Amino acid sequence: MKRRTFTSILAGFSLAAGLFGTAAAAQDMRIALVVKALGIGFFEAAAEGAEEAAAELGNVEVIYTGPTDTTAEGQIEVINSLIAQGVDAIAISANDPDALVPALKKAMQRGITVISWDSGVAEAGRQMHLNPSSNALIGNMIIKLAADHLPDGGQVAVLSASATATNQNTWIAEMNKVMGNYPGIEVVATVYGDDLADKSYREAQGLMQSYPDLDAIIAPTSVGIVAAAQAVADAGKIGEINVTGLGLPSEMAGAIQSGASRSFAIWNPIDLGYSATMIAHALATGAATAAPGAEIPMGRMGSITLDDTNAAAMADPFIYDSTNIDQFKSIF
Amino acid sequence: MRRIVASREMLLLVAIALLLGLVSTRFPGFVEPANLVAVFNDTSPLILLAIGQMVVILTKCIDLSVAANLALSGMVAAMTNLAVPDAPIVAILLVATGFGTILGMINGILVWKLDIPPIVVTLGTMTIFRGTIFLLTEGKWVNSHEMTHAFKAFPRTELLGLPVLGWVAVAVVVLFSVIMTRTTLGRAFYAVGGNPNAAAYVGIDVGRTKFWAFTISGGLAGLTGYLWVSRFAVAYVDIAGGFELDVVAACVIGGVSIMGGIGSVPGALLGALFLGVIKNALPVVNISPFWQLAISGGAIIIAVALNAQANRERGRIILKRAEHAA
Q: Do B145 and A189 touch (CB under 8 A)?
A: no
B32 lies in some domain: no
Residues near B129 by beta carbon (within 8 Å), at least 6 away in sequence: B65, B68, B69, B71, B72, B103
Q: Are residues A105 and A141 in the same domain?
A: no
Q: Are residues A164 and A71 in the same domain?
A: no
- Please check whether residue B289 is in contact with residue B279, taking contact to mean a CB–CB distance below 8 angstroms: no
pLDDT in tens, B253-276: 998 988 889 999 999 999 999 999
- Please check whether residue A70 is in contact with residue A127, taking contact to mean a CB–CB distance below 8 angstroms: no
Q: Are residues A307 and A207 in the same domain?
A: no
Q: Which residue of B has its CA nearest to A159?
A: B283
Structural domain of A262 = 135-266
Burial class (CB in 10 A: 0-12, 13-18, 19+), B134: middle
A330 lies in some domain: no
- Please check whether residue B233 is in contact with residue B144, taking contact to mean a CB–CB distance below 8 angstroms: yes
B210 lies in some domain: yes
B174 lies in some domain: yes
- CA within 13 Å, CB half, B55: 32
Residue B315 has pLDDT above 70, yes or no: no
Check residue A195 and give its pLDDT: 84
Q: Are residues A289 and A240 in the same domain?
A: no
Residues near B189 by beta carbon (within 8 Å), at least 6 away in sequence: B55, B58, B59, B180, B209, B213
A322 lies in some domain: no
- Using pLDDT thresholds of 50, 70 and 90, give the confidence band for residue A10: very low
Q: What is the pTM of this model?
A: 0.80
- Please check whether residue A161 is in contact with residue A194, taking contact to mean a CB–CB distance below 8 angstroms: yes
Average pLDDT over residues A14-28: 50
Q: Do B228 and A234 touch (CB under 8 A)?
A: no
Exposure pattern of B236-261 as b/e (b: 16+ CB <10 Å)?
bbbbbbebbebbbbbbbbbbbbeebb
Select the residue from A162, A251, A331 to test the B interface by mutation, using most B Cβ atoms within 10 A: A251
A104 lies in some domain: yes
Q: Do A251 and B234 touch (CB under 8 A)?
A: yes
Q: Check residue B140 and report its DSSP letter.
A: P
- Using pLDDT thresholds of 50, 70 and 90, give the confidence band for residue B47: very high
Residue B232 is nearest to which of A197, A255, A257, comparing CB atoms? A197
Residue B32 has pLDDT above 70, yes or no: yes
Task: Give the CATH number, domain containing residue B145.
Answer: 1.10.3470
Check residue A12 and give its pLDDT: 46
Average pLDDT over residues B5-28: 84
- Using pLDDT thresholds of 50, 70 and 90, give the confidence band for residue A28: confident
Residue A254 is nearest to which of B35, B144, B283, comparing CB atoms? B144
- Using pLDDT thresholds of 50, 70 and 90, give the confidence band for residue B325: low
pLDDT in tens, B151-171: 999 999 999 999 999 999 999
A328 lies in some domain: no
- Please check whether residue A160 is in contact with residue A128, taking contact to mean a CB–CB distance below 8 angstroms: no
- Within A58-149, where are the H helices? 72-85, 101-109, 135-148
Q: Per the structure, how many domains does chain A have? A: 2
First CA to last CA across chain A, in angstroms?
55
Structural domain of B160 = 2-8+39-282+290-308
First CA to last CA across chain B, in angstroms?
23
B13 lies in some domain: no
Q: Report the sign of the C-alpha dihedral through residues B90, B91, B94, B97, in that order.
A: negative
Q: With helix as H, strand as E and coil as C, how does B86-114 read?
A: CCCHHHHHHHHHHHHHHHHHHHHHHHHHC
- Please check whether residue B194 is in contact with residue B188, taking contact to mean a CB–CB distance below 8 angstroms: no
Check residue B311 and give its pLDDT: 64
In this prediction the ipTM stands at 0.81
A112 lies in some domain: yes
**At A63, phi and psi to the nearest 5?**
-105, 105
H helices then E strands: how many in chain A?
11, 14
Q: Per the structure, how many domains does chain B have? A: 1
Percent of chain A at pLDDT > 70 equals 92
Q: Are residues A118 and A21 in the same domain?
A: yes
A323 lies in some domain: no
Average pLDDT over residues B201-225: 96
Task: Give the CATH number, domain containing residue A88.
Answer: 3.40.50.2300
Question: What residues in A contact B243, CB-CB < 8 Å?
Answer: 198
- Within B233-287, where are the H helices? 243-253, 265-285
Separation CA A255–CA A207 (nearest Å): 18
Distance from CA of A207 to the nearest CA of B (A): 7
- Return the higher-pLDDT residue of A107 and B292: A107
- Using pLDDT thresholds of 50, 70 and 90, give the confidence band for residue A16: very low
A320 lies in some domain: no
- Using pLDDT thresholds of 50, 70 and 90, give the confidence band for residue B316: very low
Residue A163 is nearest to which of B27, B38, B289, comparing CB atoms? B289
Q: Do A209 and B233 touch (CB under 8 A)?
A: no
Separation CA A39–CA A116 (nearest Å): 19
Percent of chain B at pLDDT > 70 equals 93
Q: Check residue A323 and report its DSSP letter.
A: T
pLDDT in tens, A133-174: 888 999 999 999 999 999 888 999 999 988 877 788 889 999
B317 lies in some domain: no
Q: Are residues A41 and A103 in the same domain?
A: yes
pLDDT in tens, A257-311: 999 999 999 988 899 999 999 999 999 998 888 888 888 989 899 888 888 888 8
Q: Are residues A224 and A286 in the same domain?
A: no
Check residue B324 and give its pLDDT: 56
**DSSP per-residue letters across B159-187:** ETTEEHHHHHHHHHHHHHHHHHHHSHHHH
The overall longest dimension of chain B from CA atoms, in Å, is 74
Select the residue from B70, B231, B232, B288 to test the A interface by mutation, using most A Cβ atoms within 10 A: B232
Q: Do B143 and A251 touch (CB under 8 A)?
A: yes
Q: Are residues A189 and A299 in the same domain?
A: no
Q: Are residues A278 and A184 in the same domain?
A: no
Q: With helix as H, strand as E and coil as C, how does A230-297 read?
A: HHHHHCCCECCEEEEEECCHHHHHHHHHHCCCCEEEECCHHHHHHHHHHHHHHHHHCCCCCCCCCEEE
pLDDT in tens, A211-228: 999 999 999 988 899 999
Q: Do A253 and B143 touch (CB under 8 A)?
A: yes
A321 lies in some domain: no
Q: Are residues A147 and A258 in the same domain?
A: yes
Q: Are residues A126 and A145 in the same domain?
A: no
Q: Do B284 and A209 touch (CB under 8 A)?
A: yes
Check residue B122 and give its pLDDT: 95
How far is residue A203 CA from its own chain's centroid?
29
- Using pLDDT thresholds of 50, 70 and 90, give the confidence band for residue B226: very high
> What is the Cα gyration radius of chain A?
22
Q: Are residues A70 and A51 in the same domain?
A: yes
